[in-house]
């Protein structure tokens, strides 16, 4: 009986911790501020050790970063469902996951990925979807790839921080002027 009570208490503590972490980390559809990202990073670093991780998406991190820079932004990538078992993501014009605007920076289209997919996403914009990228850039828009990765705060430590590598896509990269 005593063992059963201990197990139930442990399950309740773990469930409460996971619930709090989800509230801190935010869910997929919620936009977050920079301060929330810092709290989420700390919470996720703790959670990843115990349960495999609850994390914000790279797109949510990009939206928060752009908002910190004073830009108005929105996700423009959509999930297209087909049948009962699947679907696929559809980017705006096949090239943009998030769209941001500001009087100072103009219109910015962002392709978001993790660092391991950076090269493939740059190739997608400059080779596969070259014509769409050229049209976007010649129309006055800017295009960037935001590649996210976790880096340890201290060598040998457990704490991690998300960092972004931003690559501007230009007409020069595609042999255009």
The one-character DSSP state at 117 is G
Nearest partner of 66 among 37, 24, 23, 28, judged by Cα? 37
| pLDDT for the residue 72 | 97
Q: How confident is the model at residue 3 (pLDDT cuts 50, 70, 90)?
A: low
* pLDDT(81) > 80: yes
> What is the mean pLDDT of the segment spanning 7-29?
40
Q: Same domain for 88 and 153?
A: yes
pLDDT higher at 12 or 77: 77
Rounded CA-CA distance 158/2 in Å is: 34
What backbone phi and psi angles, to 5 degrees, belong to 138? Answer: -70, -20
Which of 9, 24, 56 corresponds to the end of one domain? Answer: 56
108-140 pLDDT, tens digit each: 999 999 999 999 999 999 999 999 999 999 999
Q: Same domain for 93 and 152?
A: yes
Residues ≥6 apart with Cβ < 8 Å to 87: 79, 80, 81
CATH number of the domain to which 71 belongs: 3.40.1350
Q: Same domain for 134 and 147?
A: yes
Q: Same domain for 126 and 159?
A: yes
């Amino acid at each position: 009986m005593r063992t059963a009570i201990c197990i139930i208490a442990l399950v309740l503590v773990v469930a409460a911790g996971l619930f709090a972490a989800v509230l801190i980390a935010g869910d997929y559809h919620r936009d977050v501020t920079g301060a929330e990202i810092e709290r989420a990073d700390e919470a996720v670093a703790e959670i990843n050790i115990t349960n495999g991780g609850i994390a914000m998406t790279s797109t949510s991190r990009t939206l928060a970063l752009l908002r910190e820079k004073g830009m108005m932004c929105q996700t423009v990538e959509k999930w297209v469902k087909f049948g009962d078992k699947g679907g696929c993501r559809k980017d705006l014009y096949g090239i943009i996951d998030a769209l941001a605007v500001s009087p100072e920076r103009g219109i910015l289209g962002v392709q978001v990925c993790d660092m391991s997919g950076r090269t493939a996403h740059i190739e997608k914009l400059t080779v596969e979807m070259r014509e769409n990228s050229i049209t976007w850039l010649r129309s006055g828009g800017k295009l960037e790839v935001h590649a996210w990765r976790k880096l340890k705060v201290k060598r040998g430590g457990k704490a991690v921080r998300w960092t972004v590598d931003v690559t501007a896509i230009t007409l020069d990269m595609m042999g255009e002027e």
